[in-house]
C-alpha cells in the first residue's frame, strides 16, 4: 500500500518526524540544497562559453540562472525518485523561510512528481505541530522562492563583478560582498575613530562619609559653584575640554581639595527618592540570541546558530531563523502556567504580554525563539539529555521566554547630596523592592559600567540637615578611553539597526570577513586589518554608492517586496545591474578611473604625513614614500601603527640586520624580522647559495634572543641521544612548530617545552604516548578516544593528521574548525562535526559541479555526442 513521502532537510529532523508519524508515512532527508548556481570555474563544459560563462547567470534573458545538481547529491536524488514512485503524495517539510521554500521548489523541479504535492510548514518539531502542519498544507510560495533566487543572483553579480575590479586595481583586498562590504566598513569606521582619538587625563575626588546608620560612598560633583569635569566633557578627536562651564582638576588640584576638605564637617543638603519600574525584554529573535550568546556565553555567531539548529531539529526550541517577537497563545499559556507554579501568582502580570516586531517585514518564521511544545521542558532535563552547549543555550532561551511574560521589576532610586564647605558630593543608591522578571533573567550588557550601575546599591537612611563626617577622601586619576571596538554582538546590532542583511546570514558574514583577512579577533573584539582599510578607502573613493549603508538596506527592502508579491524579480535585477546608476555602469567607471589616492592609508595619531601605510601582495607595510619600507606584523591593529612606531621600524630596516656575534668559521650571526616573522641567519648570501637560517620558535623573541640560542637554532636538528633499539632521537622546528622525532614517529612539543631545552627523557615520554599531538609522518595517530558516537555507536577518536587534528568514527572524518583547540574537544562537539560531515556527503575530488573528463569513445569520435542539459528556467 502506497504511503505519503515527507521530505525534510536534515537526517536529525527526519528521524524525529518519522518517530512522530510512525509507519503511515515515509520520511526522507534531502540533506540541504540539492543544486545551485555553479561558479564559472565549475560550469559544465557545455556552458563555459556563452551567456552563462561570466556569472552562471544569463544577464540578457531576464537574469536566468543556470542550476546544476551538486554531484554529491545525485545519489540522494535517485533515492528520493525511487521512493516517490511508490508514494501516494509528496509533502515538502523544509524550513519556512526563503531558503526552505527554495529547497522545496528545487526538489519539485528535479523530482518531477506525478502525485499531489503539498507544502507543510511548522515552527517547532513536536507531535502536535507536525499533525497540525499535515492537516493544513499549502502550495509552494513562488514569491518567497523568487525573493531567494533574486538574492542569490544579486550576491553572485555583486560579489563576482566587484571582486574582479578589486583583482585588477588592488593587491591586498580581493573580495567584496553585498553585506560583507558594509560590515567591513563598520569595523573600519570604528577603528578610524580610535585612530583619531586623543586621550585626556582628569582627576576626581571620591569620599566615604559616615552617618549614624552606616557609610555613604559619594563623588565630588561641584566646587565653588562650578561642575567638576568628567570623561564625557572631552572632545575625542582633540582631547580638549568641550564644556566651558566645567572645572578640570589635575592631580595637584585634586590633592589640594582632599587636604582642604577632609577635616571639615559635612551636611546632608537633600535626599531625593524616585520610584523606578523596569519591563522585561522581548523573547529572542535570530539577531538577539546571537548578541546575547556573545555577551553571556562568549560564543561567536556561527557557534550560536549551529547549536540553535541542533536544538530546533531535535525538538527542543522553535525555529531559530526569525525576526519576529510574537509568541503563540499556547506558548504564552505555557509560560504563564509555569510562572504561577514556580514563582507564585505575584510574579504573573494581569494580562499576557504581546511584543511587536521592529522588523519592516518579518519574512522568516513568524514566532520568536522559545522552548518547543505546550509545556516547556525544564533546564534540569536539558542538562541531563543535551550536550553542554545545547544545555547552556536552551537555558538562555527558557529563561528569556519565561521572563518576557513576568511582572515588571520595581524599586526606589535615591540621590543624597552632601555639602562640605563650598564643595558638593553626590551619592546614588538603588533598591529593588520587587524583582519581578529579574528572578528569571537579566539581559547582558555591552557596557560593563552600565551593567555595574544596574546593580542594587543600598544607602543608609539619612535626612536633610544630618551631619556626616568625611571618613576618607581620595584623589583618583582617570584617562579617557577610545571608542570600544565592535564585537560580534555589537556588529550584529549595528547591521540590524541599519537594515543591512538578514539576521540568519550574520554568522556567515562574520566568518567570511575573518576568512578573507579583513578582520581578526582579539579577545571578543573584531579588529579590522589594513586590507579592510584599503577596501573601504577604494570603495569610498570610486564606488561610494556601493559602500553606503542604505544601498544594501534598499536592496533588502526590494527583496521584501518581492517576497510579498509587490515587486518583480526581473525589474529589481535589471535596475540593480543594468540601470543608469546600476552596478555595471559604476564598475566600468571605476576601471576607467586613474585616481589612486586610496592606496595611501594614514597612520594612527596626529601624523605629520611623513609616513603612510600601503597594502601589498604579501601584507601591509609602512613607507616614507621613497625607498624606505618596513613590514607591519599581521596581528598589529591599525590604531597601534603610530608615527613613532613607523619611525623606529624604518630606522631598524635602514640599519640592517642586528648582529648577535660570530658563529662557526667566524661568520656573523644576524637577526632579521622578515615577512613571515623573525629569524636568524649565519653569514651573508654568496651568489645563489642561501646561508643557513632558522625561524625563532615560540618563547624566543627578537628582544630576548642570545647568541647561544641563535647558534643552537642554526645547528638544528639537535641530537638528544638514542631511544629503544639505538634509534637516534632529535629535536627540530618544522612547518607546524617544534617537535621531536625518532625513526618515522614524531610528536609536537608540549607547551613550556622548547626545541633547545627538551631532554631525551622528555622526548622519549612524548614519543611513547599514543595520543601525541601531531604525527609528522606515517599513519595518523589517535590523540585520545572521546567515546561512542550517539548516532552510529562507533568509537570516536581525535586524530593527529598531517594537515591538522580531526575527529573520526572509522568511516567519516571531520576536520576541527580553524582556531579550535584539540585539548578542549568534547564528544558532543565531535559528534556534531561528524553529523554535519555525513549530511554534506563525501567531498568531490574536484570542483563541486565539475565533471571528470571521460576518455573519448569511438562513437563520439565519429560525431555522435550527448545533448547538453538545458538550463533550468528561472522563477517567473
Q: What is the pLDDT of residues 436-495, one digit of tens each?
A: 999 888 776 555 454 444 567 889 999 999 999 999 999 999 999 999 999 999 999 999
Structure-block grid coordinates of residue 604: 594612527
Q: What pLDDT, on the 0 to 100 scale, is given for residue 136?
A: 95
Q: What pLDDT, on the 0 to 100 scale, is given for residue 858?
A: 41
Q: With contact defined as beta carbons under 8 Å apart, do 607 and 643 qualify? A: yes
Rounded Cα distance between 847 and 852, Å, is 10
Structure-block grid coordinates of residue 650: 624604518
Rounded Cα distance between 679 and 17, Å, is 59
Kindly list the catalytic residues: 319
Confidence of residue 625 (pLDDT cuts 50, 70, 90): confident
Angle at CA 505, nearest 5°, toward 501 and 510? Answer: 95
Q: What is the mean pLDDT of residues 245-259?
A: 95
Rounded Cα distance between 348 and 342, Å, is 11
Q: How many CB atoms lie within 10 A of CB 344?
A: 10
Ranking 210-219, 322-331, 439-448, 809-818 by mean pLDDT, the lowest is 439-448
Q: Mapping DSSP to helix (H, G, I), strand (E, B) and coil, where does residue 588 land?
A: helix
**Among residues 799, 789, 794, 790, which one has the least CA distance to residue 822?**
799
Confidence of residue 822 (pLDDT cuts 50, 70, 90): low
Q: What pLDDT, on the 0 to 100 scale, is given for residue 812?
A: 86
Let me know how many helices (H) and strands (E) the chain has, helices first.
25, 33
Q: What pLDDT, on the 0 to 100 scale, is given for residue 361?
A: 46
Q: Mapping DSSP to helix (H, G, I), strand (E, B) and coil, where does residue 44 land?
A: coil
β-bridge partners, 730: 719, 741
The answer on pLDDT for 57 being more than 60 is yes
Report pLDDT digits (tens) over 93-152. 999 889 999 999 999 999 999 999 999 999 999 999 999 999 999 999 999 999 999 999
Q: What pLDDT, on the 0 to 100 scale, is given for residue 845?
A: 44
Report pLDDT digits (tens) over 221-237. 999 999 999 998 999 88
Identify the H or E element spanning 662.
strand 658-662
The answer on pLDDT for 739 being more than 60 is yes
Q: What is the mean pLDDT of residues 724-747?
A: 88
Structure-block grid coordinates of residue 778: 606515517
Q: How many CB atoms lie within 10 A of CB 274?
A: 8
β-bridge partners, 222: 227, 424
The answer on pLDDT for 161 being more than 80 is yes
Residues of the chain above pLDDT 70, percent: 89
Confidence of residue 653 (pLDDT cuts 50, 70, 90): confident
Q: With contact defined as beta carbons under 8 Å apart, do 31 and 9 qualify? A: yes
Residues of the chain above pLDDT 90, percent: 55
Q: Grid cell 618515522 — which residue?
A: 744
Secondary structure letter of residue 601 according to DSSP: B
Spell 249-265 as b/e; 16+ CB within 10 A means b. Answer: beeeebbebbeebbeee
Structure-block grid coordinates of residue 741: 622525532
Q: Mapping DSSP to helix (H, G, I), strand (E, B) and coil, where does residue 480 land?
A: coil
Confidence of residue 299 (pLDDT cuts 50, 70, 90): very high
Rounded Cα distance between 763 and 52, Å, is 58
Angle at CA 97, nearest 5°, toward 570 and 576? Answer: 25
Q: What pLDDT, on the 0 to 100 scale, is given for residue 863?
A: 41
Angle at CA 298, nearest 5°, toward 334 and 316? Answer: 30
**Ramachandran angles phi, psi of 116, nearest 5°:** -55, 135
**Among residues 435, 433, 369, which one has the least CA distance to residue 407?**
435
Structure-block grid coordinates of residue 710: 641563535
Rounded Cα distance between 797 and 808, Å, is 6
Rounded Cα distance between 604 and 540, Å, is 19
Q: Residue 613: how many CA atoms within 13 Å on its side-chain side? A: 29
Structure-block grid coordinates of residue 275: 520610584
Q: What pLDDT, on the 0 to 100 scale, is given for residue 837?
A: 78
Rounded Cα distance between 683 and 587, Å, is 51
Rounded Cα distance between 817 and 318, Å, is 27
**Ramachandran angles phi, psi of 612, nearest 5°:** -150, 170
Structure-block grid coordinates of residue 737: 612548530
Rounded Cα distance between 435 and 430, Å, is 12
Rounded Cα distance between 719 and 343, Å, is 69
Structure-block grid coordinates of residue 48: 563555459
The answer on pLDDT for 873 being more than 90 is no
Q: How many CB atoms lie within 10 A of CB 574?
A: 15
pTM of the model: 0.77
What sign does the CA torsion over 241, 243, 245, 246 have?
Answer: negative
Rounded Cα distance between 134 and 6, Å, is 10
Q: With contact defined as beta carbons under 8 Å apart, do 449 and 481 qualify? A: no
**Ramachandran angles phi, psi of 212, nearest 5°:** -60, -35
Q: With contact defined as beta carbons under 8 Å apart, do 271 and 462 qualify? A: yes
Q: What pLDDT, on the 0 to 100 scale, is given for residue 603?
A: 87
Alpha-helix residue ranges (DSSP H) falling in 579-697? 583-592, 643-655
Ranking 278-282, 334-338, 810-814 by mean pLDDT, the lowest is 810-814
Amino acid at each position: 500500500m502506497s504511503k505519503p513521502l515527507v521530505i525534510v532537510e536534515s537526517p536529525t529532523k527526519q528521524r524525529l518526524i518519522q518517530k512522530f508519524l510512525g509507519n503511515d508515512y515515509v520520511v526522507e532527508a534531502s540533506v540541504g540544497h540539492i543544486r545551485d548556481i555553479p561558479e564559472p570555474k565549475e560550469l559544465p563544459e557545455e556552458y563555459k562559453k556563452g551567456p552563462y560563462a561570466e556569472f552562471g547567470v544569463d544577464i540578457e534573458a531576464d537574469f536566468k540562472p543556470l542550476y546544476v545538481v551538486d554531484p554529491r547529491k545525485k545519489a540522494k536524488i535517485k533515492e528520493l525518485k525511487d521512493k516517490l514512485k511508490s508514494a501516494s503524495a509528496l509533502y515538502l517539510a523544509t524550513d519556512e523561510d526563503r531558503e526552505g521554500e527554495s529547497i522545496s521548489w528545487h526538489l519539485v523541479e528535479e523530482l518531477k512528481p506525478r502525485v499531489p504535492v503539498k507544502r507543510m510548514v511548522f515552527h517547532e518539531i513536536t507531535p502536535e505541530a507536525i499533525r497540525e502542519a499535515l492537516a493544513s498544507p499549502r502550495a509552494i510560495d513562488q514569491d518567497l522562492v523568487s525573493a531567494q533566487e533574486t538574492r542569490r543572483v544579486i550576491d553572485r553579480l555583486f560579489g563576482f563583478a566587484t571582486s574582479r575590479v578589486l583583482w585588477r586595481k588592488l593587491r591586498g583586498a580581493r573580495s567584496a560582498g553585498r553585506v560583507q562590504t558594509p560590515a567591513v566598513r563598520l569595523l573600519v569606521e570604528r577603528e578610524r575613530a580610535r585612530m583619531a582619538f586623543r586621550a585626556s587625563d582628569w582627576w576626581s575626588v571620591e569620599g566615604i562619609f559616615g552617618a549614624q546608620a552606616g557609610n555613604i560612598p559619594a563623588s565630588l560633583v561641584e566646587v565653588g559653584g562650578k561642575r567638576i569635569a568628567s570623561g564625557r566633557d572631552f572632545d575625542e578627536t582633540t582631547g580638549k575640554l568641550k564644556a566651558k562651564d566645567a572645572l578640570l582638576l589635575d592631580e595637584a588640584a585634586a590633592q589640594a581639595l582632599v587636604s582642604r576638605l577632609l577635616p571639615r564637617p559635612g551636611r546632608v543638603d537633600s535626599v531625593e527618592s524616585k520610584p523606578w519600574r523596569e519591563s522585561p525584554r522581548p523573547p529572542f529573535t535570530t539577531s538577539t540570541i546571537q548578541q546575547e550568546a556573545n555577551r553571556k556565553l562568549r560564543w561567536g555567531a556561527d557557534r550560536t546558530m549551529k547549536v540553535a539548529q541542533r536544538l530546533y531539529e531535535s525538538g527542543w526550541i522553535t525555529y531559530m531563523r526569525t525576526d519576529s517577537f510574537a509568541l503563540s497563545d499556547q506558548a504564552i499559556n505555557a509560560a504563564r502556567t509555569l510562572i504561577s507554579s514556580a514563582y507564585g501568582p505575584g510574579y504573573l502580570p494581569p494580562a499576557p504580554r504581546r511584543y511587536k516586531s521592529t522588523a519592516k517585514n518579518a519574512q522568516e518564521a513568524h514566532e520568536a525563539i522559545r522552548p518547543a511544545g505546550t509545556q516547556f521542558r525544564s533546564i534540569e532535563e536539558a542538562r541531563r539529555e543535551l550536550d553542554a552547549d545545547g544545555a547552556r543555550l536552551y537555558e538562555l532561551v527558557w529563561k528569556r521566554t519565561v521572563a518576557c511574560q513576568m511582572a515588571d521589576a520595581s524599586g526606589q532610586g535615591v540621590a543624597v547630596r552632601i555639602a562640605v564647605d563650598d564643595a558638593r558630593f553626590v551619592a546614588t543608591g538603588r533598591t529593588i523592592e520587587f524583582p519581578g522578571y529579574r528572578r528569571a533573567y537579566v539581559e547582558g550588557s555591552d557596557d560593563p559600567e552600565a551593567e555595574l550601575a544596574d546593580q542594587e546599591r543600598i544607602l543608609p537612611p539619612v535626612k536633610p540637615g544630618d551631619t556626616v563626617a568625611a571618613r576618607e577622601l581620595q584623589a583618583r586619576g582617570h584617562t579617557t578611553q577610545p571608542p570600544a571596538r565592535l564585537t560580534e554582538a555589537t556588529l550584529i546590532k549595528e547591521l540590524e539597526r541599519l537594515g543591512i542583511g538578514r539576521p540568519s546570514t550574520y554568522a556567515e558574514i562574520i566568518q567570511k570577513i575573518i576568512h578573507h583577512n579583513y578582520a581578526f579577533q582579539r579577545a571578543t573584539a573584531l579588529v579590522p586589518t589594513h586590507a579592510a582599510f584599503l577596501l573601504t578607502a577604494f570603495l569610498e573613493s570610486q564606488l561610494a554608492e556601493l559602500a553606503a549603508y542604505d544601498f544594501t538596506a534598499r536592496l533588502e527592502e526590494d527583496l521584501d517586496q518581492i517576497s510579498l508579491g509587490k515587486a518583480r524579480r526581473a525589474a529589481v535585477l535589471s535596475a540593480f545591474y543594468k540601470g543608469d546608476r546600476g552596478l555595471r555602469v559604476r564598475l566600468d567607471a571605476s576601471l576607467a578611473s586613474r585616481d589612486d589616492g586610496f592606496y595611501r592609508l594614514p597612520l594612527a595619531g596626529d601624523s605629520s604625513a611623513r609616513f603612510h601605510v600601503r597594502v601589498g601582495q604579501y601584507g601591509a607595510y609602512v613607507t616614507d614614500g621613497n625607498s624606505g619600507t618596513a613590514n607591519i606584523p599581521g596581528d598589529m591593529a591599525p590604531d597601534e601603527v603610530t608615527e613613532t612606531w613607523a619611525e623606529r621600524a624604518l630606522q631598524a630596516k635602514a640599519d640592517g640586520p642586528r648582529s648577535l656575534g660570530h658563529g662557526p668559521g667566524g661568520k656573523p650571526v644576524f637577526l632579521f624580522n622578515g615577512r613571515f616573522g623573525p629569524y636568524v641567519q649565519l653569514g651573508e648570501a654568496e651568489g645563489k647559495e642561501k646561508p643557513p637560517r632558522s625561524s625563532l620558535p615560540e618563547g624566543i623573541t627578537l628582544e630576548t634572543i642570545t647568541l647561544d640560542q641563535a647558534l643552537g637554532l642554526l645547528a638544528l636538528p639537535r641530537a638528544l641521544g638514542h631511544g629503544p633499539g639505538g634509534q637516534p632521537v632529535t629535536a627540530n622546528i618544522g612547518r607546524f612548530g617544534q617537535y621531536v622525532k625518532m625513526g618515522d614517529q614524531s610528536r609536537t612539543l608540549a607547551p613550556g617545552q622548547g626545541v633547545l631545552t627538551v631532554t631525551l627523557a622528555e622526548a622519549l615520554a612524548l614519543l611513547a604516548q599514543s595520543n601525541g599531538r601531531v604525527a609528522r609522518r606515517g599513519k595518523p595517530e589517535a590523540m585520545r578516544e572521546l567515546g561512542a558516537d550517539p548516532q552510529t555507536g562507533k568509537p570516536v577518536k581525535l586524530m593527529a593528521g598531517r594537515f591538522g587534528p580531526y575527529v573520526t568514527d572509522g568511516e567519516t572524518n571531520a576536520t576541527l574548525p580553524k582556531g579550535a583547540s584539540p585539548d578542549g574537544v568534547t564528544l558532543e562537539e565531535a559528534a556534531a562535526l561528524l553529523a554535519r560531515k555525513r549530511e554534506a556527503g563525501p567531498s568531490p575530488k574536484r570542483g563541486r559541479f565539475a565533471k571528470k573528463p571521460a576518455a573519448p569513445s569511438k562513437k563520439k569520435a565519429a560525431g555522435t555526442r550527448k545533448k547538453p542539459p538545458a538550463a533550468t528556467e528561472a522563477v517567473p
